[in-house]
Amino acid sequence: MTSPSPATDGARDLRHDYLVALDEWEVAARQMRRAIDDSSAALSVLRRHVEDGGSIGEVPTIVAAQPLRSEMSSAIDQLERSRHAAQRVLFTLLVEDGMSMADVGRVFGISRSLVSRLVHEDS
């Protein structure tokens, strides 16, 4: 029985890394949706308050703006980091599968040099 070649092991590891990155991206997307839903609910409360003639001076006390802002900022940051990680692994897989960096760049609408930088970036 022969053992798998290092290239096969490397590709298998990268595929596994890509699946992990996709899972993390999905979790981040759910967090982003939750942050958007929380902000949307707060905006609805504020809108009703103002439409009903409520005091503008009460607006800062109606919703907890700082935690909402913090939740949104954190969710945006995590979504972008997870997207970047998944994209980096995908580009590496595509290049290892024989696609040129220029072609990867064309497909994704970015420069070949950015693809190269991402492929060679440490995770």
Give the pLDDT band (50/70/90) at residue 101. Answer: very high
Q: Apex CA 90: angle with CA 87 and CA 94, to 5°?
A: 135
Q: Which residues of 87-113 are buried (b: 16+ CB within 10 A; e: fewer)?
A: bbbbbbbbbeeeeebeebbeeeeeeee
Q: Is residue 99 part of a domain?
A: yes
Per-chain mean pLDDT for the chain: 92
pLDDT at position 122 is 77
Q: Is residue 1 part of a domain?
A: no
pTM (two decimals): 0.81
Q: Is residue 4 part of a domain?
A: no
For residue 40, give its domain range: 12-119
pLDDT at position 123 is 59
pLDDT at position 98 is 94
How far is Cα 38 from Cα 63, in angstroms, rounded to an integer? 10
Residue 7 has pLDDT above 70, yes or no: no
Smallest CA-to-CA distance from 35 within 97, 92, 77 is with 77
The model's pLDDT over 43-76, given as tens digits with 9 standing for 90+, comes to 999 999 999 999 999 999 999 999 999 999 999 9
Distance of CA 38 to the CA centre of its chain: 19
Q: Is residue 112 part of a domain?
A: yes
Count the domains in the chain. 1
pLDDT at position 10 is 74
pLDDT at position 81 is 97
